[in-house]
Structure 1
Amino acid sequence: MLNSLSGRFLILTVVFVMLAEVMIFVPSVARFREVYLLNRLERAQIASLALEADDMLTSELEAELLENAGVFNVVLLRDAVRELRLSSEIPMPVEAAFDLRETGPFALIRDAMKRLFTPGNTVIRVIGTPVRDAGLLIEITMETEPLRRDMIEYGLRVLALSAVISVFTAVLLFAAVRVFLVRPIKGVVSNMQRYAAAPEDARGIITPSAGVTELREAEEALLKLQTELTHALKQKERLAQLGGAVARVSHDLRNILTSAQLFTDRIEGSEDPLVRRLAPKLVGSITRAVSLCESTLAFGRTDEAAPVLGLVRLADIVADVLDSERLAVEEDRVVFISEVPATMTVRADPEQMFRVILNLVRNARQALAGCDGDAHVTVAAGEEADAWWITVADTGPGLPPKAVEHLFTPFQGGARKGGTGLGLAIAAELVRGHGGKLTLARTGADGTVFHIRLPKGDGVAVRAA
């Protein structure tokens, strides 16, 4: 219970109320002492009036008056004349004198605390102003033990009352916290647990009902989160089902298209001029369809093998990529350039790095289709203290804004008409598997540049022997 929110509030309330009562207790005790001393001065003044009524008081009556007033002697100052009105034997020397006419609040508190925590009986002199203008000054001597005893009794009463008030306040606050805070919070927690057990069930979404503003805001934020998450999970489930269906269709369609590709090889040998003219276009269409099926299947595989990292010569990989792409270009219209140092090696999986660079170079080549002027695709590489970098640049027209916005998103980042965007998505995923990052460095009317950064890990430059 003490570790709960309401239990902590209960303890803190008791502590804070007691601290507040202590702050009240100190000036209260000081005020009690001041009133006590003023009362002694007034009683002594009243006792001295009996002497004015009868100058021939007996010693027994004078002692009784002093005892009733609680003092040893009384001195009045009238018309600049100091008069010892009542007196008796003082049992011990006077320890201190206190002038209540000029004492401020802090001095009263200091003197009261000193008296409260100083045991023993002493005699003090108290000076004040007579009531009803009976003189200029009244002075008495008295013992301190009765004063300290009454101060302690008064302080205990104040502390007892403070304890009762603090407990009563703490209980009320405990009940209020339970009703207005703990119960709504438990309701939110219970809803979160119920929703976590079945996040697809829309019935578990919270309905904001708290009256406290902060809790209401928390419930509304949770409502938004749960709603978005439920929709995302449903969409994910639908996409997973759709992905499975697409993968099966792509697999079967690839087999059909592969058979069709074999038939087109025989069609190309036909003597019919029309057939010979249309056959290459048919072959190209079937090849692109097969490539799309293979890309879809590759992206849909969740068991993509982790990269087997080793030191590989990057120039060899780039040369294989450029050689394969040159075969797809008619009449050397696109110039492929490699600016990779011949001896440079990187820590990478050769097969996966080949796929990454092939995707980027192929996209660059396709971006140059139909472009006037120089058409260059350049692959460059270098190294820094902690990483290798590779760039693939082209002199094409740049990427459209929509393609840049969803560049690495599958089925949304296609940069050319009819493209799926799978190539860049797969390339980015393979680079992340190497601990690196694939980014778009720049794009515009003068071309596009993609940048690959691969961490070295040990910070040591690696060169081929």
Structure 2
Amino acid sequence: MRTFLNTLSGRFLILTTVFVMLAEVLIFVPSISRFREDYLLLRLERAQIASLATLANDGMVSPQLEKELLTNAGVLNVVLRRNAVRQLVLSSPIPQPIYTTYDLRTDTTFDLVRDALAEFFDPHNRIIRVIGNPTKDAGQQIEVTLESAPMRRAMIDYGLRIFLLSAVISVMTALLLFFAVRRLMVVPIRKLVHHMSDYAEAPEDARRVIEPSASIMELREAEEALKSLQKQLTGALRQKERLAQLGGAVAKISHDLRNILTTAQLFADRMENSDDPGVARAAPKLIGSLGRAVNLCEGTLAFGKAEEPPPTLARFALKTLVDDVIEGERMADSEDAVTFLSDVPPGLMIRADSEQLYRVLSNLVRNARQAIAATGKPGEIEIGAGEDEIAWWIKAGDTGPGLPPKAKEHLFTPFQGGARKGGIGLGLAISAELVRGHGGRLELLRSDEDGTEFLIRLPKMTVATDSTDIAAK
């Protein structure tokens, strides 16, 4: 029983019964008041008929007939006012003093309801006087005296009938509403819950995605929202699985590639001692590039183990880093179609992880260079930087063709935000993650036919990443 009461159907059944009973109570109060008024008016009418019969006989009736007339009228005394004369037409002994007087000619609805409730709950037999207007204009006023107990018994009998009828109506209404709500709401809700439970058992199975079928608008909207959520979740789980598989493969490749690059780095170290001036100049760049490649492989391995370290923050000159990025991309521009510009103040010192920031800027510049090269026209790439009171900012802009609509929509989403044909959409996603690791943000300022511009903001106040690295500007 308790389980049923805790269900939506059980509680709805109880609430329906309670509210219907409350409505019946609101109907009962004016009904009992109306019943009392009709009861008293009927006594006045009968008393008037009895008094007219007495007056027709010139007031000469036997005590036995007078008693019979009063008994049939249900009153003790009858006073009739005719032609400005107040006359006691019928009378009998009154067992006790008159308790109160009710004038039906002036009583308002509130007065009738109040008096009816007072008499309904008063267990004592009172003598009351009732004043009213005679019917058919047979006088100016009629008064009767009667006992309240018979009227109260009649009111209680009427109230019990009303209560029983209300109870039957309440139960029938509650049952009808119960079955209607169960059919229209509870069953569809249980069906929706069943779909959710079934989907939860195998969320990768697209066949378990719900198909909206409810006829009720609100439930239909809930099913459509659930379908959209399930489709997104199924796609995300599939993508996560592919990423996990890809991560395993990348970890293996990075492990072998790191060993290869380490060997190449040893040979590059020897190239610094070459007598060839060109080789001597290129050797530091080569060593730096190999070092970054080795660090990238090690970072990839750490990421595959979910152990990627937080950024190592240190102060350095941003212009030097930007020049290294531009020099590396300028060497990759075999056709010299792109002009690289740097607008970074020489004395601008920032606090960040230089290796991670190099990866971010290199990715942005590489994307811009490849986009310009794809058009077959010359273009420019410019990196600018500055600072304000709370952050350092870096802008990377180009005069390329702009990003495709799909790339804008899923700009920082892995495998969906590719900005060029053949791209897999990982570069910007990784760059945004690296910038977020610094407590900053990477955002797209503009992208149209005049080119694309990204903004990097790095806060000057950062949270400590380890016990020795405290927040500082």
Letter matched to residue 322 of structure 1: D
Q: Secondary structure at the match of 1:329?
A: helix
Q: Secondary structure at the match of 2:144?
A: strand
Partner residue of 2:147?
Answer: 143
Change (3 A) 1:314 1:113: farther
Structure 1 residue 116 displacement after superposition: 2.5
Partner residue of 1:38?
Answer: 41
Change (3 A) 1:439 1:141: same
1:295-320 Cα distance to aligned partner (Å, 9 max, x none): 9x9599544644435541142x5524
Letter matched to residue 151 of structure 2: L
Matches within 5 A, 1:13-412: 13-54=16-57, 55-227=59-231, 229-230=233-234, 233-234=237-238, 237=241, 298=300, 302-303=304-305, 305-309=307-311, 311-315=313-317, 318-323=319-324, 325-326=326-327, 329=330, 334-339=340-345, 341-342=347-348, 344-346=349-351, 348-363=352-367, 377-384=382-389, 387-394=390-397, 396-402=398-404, 404-410=408-414
Query: Which stretch of structure 1 is more off in the superposition, 235-244 or 58-67?
Result: 235-244
Q: How many angstroms apart in 2 are the aligned matches of 1:209 and 1:368?
A: 50
Equivalenced residue count is 431
Change (3 A) 1:92 1:417: closer
TM (normalized to structure 1)? 0.75
1:115-165 Cα distance to aligned partner (Å, 9 max, x none): 323443333221223334433322112232332333233223322322232
Partner residue of 1:268?
Answer: none
Q: Is the 8 A contact 2:322 2:383 kept in 1?
A: no
Partner residue of 1:272?
Answer: none
Q: Is the 8 A contact 2:50 2:69 kept in 1?
A: yes
Letter matched to residue 323 of structure 2: L
Partner residue of 1:462?
Answer: 472
Q: Secondary structure at the match of 2:394?
A: strand
Structure 1 residue 371 displacement after superposition: 7.2
Q: How many angstroms apart in 1 are the aligned matches of 2:86 and 2:51?
A: 14
Change (3 A) 1:11 1:322: same
Q: Secondary structure at the match of 1:89?
A: coil
Change (3 A) 1:455 1:184: farther
Q: Is the 8 A contact 1:94 1:122 kept in 2?
A: yes
Q: How many angstroms apart in 1 are the aligned matches of 2:417 and 2:401?
A: 10
Q: How many angstroms apart in 1 are the aligned matches of 2:173 and 2:329?
A: 86
Q: How many angstroms apart in 2 are the aligned matches of 1:137 and 1:46?
A: 14
Q: Is the 8 A contact 1:311 1:345 kept in 2?
A: no
Matches within 5 A, 1:445-456: 445=450, 448-454=453-459, 456=461
Q: Is the 8 A contact 1:359 1:423 kept in 2?
A: yes
Q: Secondary structure at the match of 2:107?
A: coil
Change (3 A) 1:363 1:98: same
1:263-320 Cα distance to aligned partner (Å, 9 max, x none): xxxxxxxxxxxxxxxxxxxxxxxx9xx99xx89x9599544644435541142x5524
Letter matched to residue 169 of structure 2: I
Letter matched to residue 153 of structure 2: R
Structure 1 residue 337 displacement after superposition: 3.9
Q: How many angstroms apart in 1 are the aligned matches of 2:212 and 2:302?
A: 40
Q: Secondary structure at the match of 2:6?
A: coil
Partner residue of 2:285?
Answer: none
Query: Which stretch of structure 1 is more off in the superposition, 107-116 or 400-409?
Result: 400-409
Q: Is the 8 A contact 2:440 2:456 kept in 1?
A: no
- RMSD of aligned alpha carbons: 4.4
**Structure ranking higher on relative contact order (CA contacts 8 Å, 6+ apart):** 1
Change (3 A) 1:34 1:169: same
Change (3 A) 1:414 1:261: farther
Q: How many angstroms apart in 1 are the aligned matches of 2:372 and 2:211?
A: 56
Structure 1 residue 30 displacement after superposition: 0.5
Structure 1 residue 207 displacement after superposition: 4.6
Q: Is the 8 A contact 1:340 1:379 kept in 2?
A: no
Q: Is the 8 A contact 2:54 2:89 kept in 1?
A: yes
Q: How many angstroms apart in 2 are the aligned matches of 1:382 and 1:242?
A: 39
Q: How many angstroms apart in 1 are the aligned matches of 2:412 and 2:440?
A: 15
Partner residue of 1:269?
Answer: none
Partner residue of 1:273?
Answer: none
1:246-272 Cα distance to aligned partner (Å, 9 max, x none): 88789889999999999xxxxxxxxxx
Structure 1 residue 41 displacement after superposition: 0.9
Q: Is the 8 A contact 1:318 1:379 kept in 2?
A: no
Structure 1 residue 455 displacement after superposition: 7.1
Structure 1 residue 15 displacement after superposition: 0.8
> Which sections of structure 1, spanning at least 5 residues, go unmatched?
263-286
Q: How many angstroms apart in 1 are the aligned matches of 2:150 and 2:427?
A: 98
> Which sections of structure 2, spanning at least 5 residues, go unmatched?
267-288, 465-469
Query: Which stretch of structure 1 is more off in the superposition, 426-435 or 318-327?
Result: 318-327
